[in-house]
Structure formats: C-alpha cells, structure tokens
Amino acid sequence: MDIANCLTVIDLLCAREFPAEHSRTEHGESGPGFHIAALHTSGDFWEDDGTEWEETAAQYEADRDGLTERLTSRWGLPQHISLRSVFVRTMDGETIEEPWAGLSEHVPDVHLWKAPVRDRWFALGVSHGYKELPFRLLGIVTEVDPP
C-alpha cells in the first residue's frame, strides 16, 4: 500500500463537491452527501484454502491502522465505530442514510474523524463481503452524521 497515494486521494475526496446523483468515479463511488474510495484492493480468494485470506485480512487491518496513525497526526484521535448494529437496524427495516446503510453490509467497523476540512466526517474501514471476494481499504467522506 502506498500511504502517500492514499493521503492524496483522501485530500481529494475531502475537497470534492458531492454529486446530486449516485455515480462511479475514478476512485470508487459518490452520491448525495458522500464519497467512497477504494484506497487499496487485494486479489480474490477463489483458489485459497484459507491461509492467504487470513494473512490478507491481517495485512489490511494493519494497513488501516498505519493510515490511522498518519491521519491521527492531522486530525487527532479517531472514534472507533462498529457498523454491526447499523446493519441489524437496517435489516429490521429502519431507514439508515447512505453511506452508512450500504457500508454496514460489508464493513464491520470504521475509524472516524470529524475532519476540519469543510466540516465533514472521514472514515477508514476494511471492506470484505463474501469470503472469495477481495478486501478493500476504504476511505469515506460524508456530511451525513453517523447513526
């Protein structure tokens, strides 16, 4: 993972206007009130016996933590927010705003800052859906308060 590149993308996301409609971007996706960027993406695990998956999971957590250290020096200590209860609430029929509802489906928790740039939230999380799919280190910028 290239930390300098990740920080550049984070700065870009924090400065960028939010679109009126959902769209794909060169870094991920955007919608009303949010941007989500894949800062780093692993390969898939279709042929894995589980060993590579576990090593990759640990590496992505370490990458997130390393990037968290760099952002802590900019913005202070983050909050650690679980999205598991958000997922349960969504499944129970509660309306949760995006990007939080969608993230809760594949990101168990995030490190969260109230970024001083344009008074937006910034979150880092490790995305992983089904066991065969790649891991993604996500950077999320939003004006939507966390649920």
Q: What does the pLDDT look like over 86-98, one tens digit per residue?
A: 999 999 999 999 9
**What pLDDT sits at residue 87?**
95
Confidence of residue 115 (pLDDT cuts 50, 70, 90): confident
Q: H/E element holding 140? A: strand 136-142
On the 0-12 / 13-18 / 19+ scale of CB atoms within 10 A, 100 is buried
If pLDDT is split at 50, 70 and 90, which confidence band does 42 have? very high
pLDDT at 104 over 90: yes
Which amino acid would we find at residue 86?
V
Q: What percent of the chain has pLDDT over 90?
A: 81
- pLDDT the model gives residue 30: 96
How many CB atoms lie under 10 A from the CB of residue 84?
A: 11
pLDDT at 130: 79
| Residue 110: both structure tokens together | 């995030």
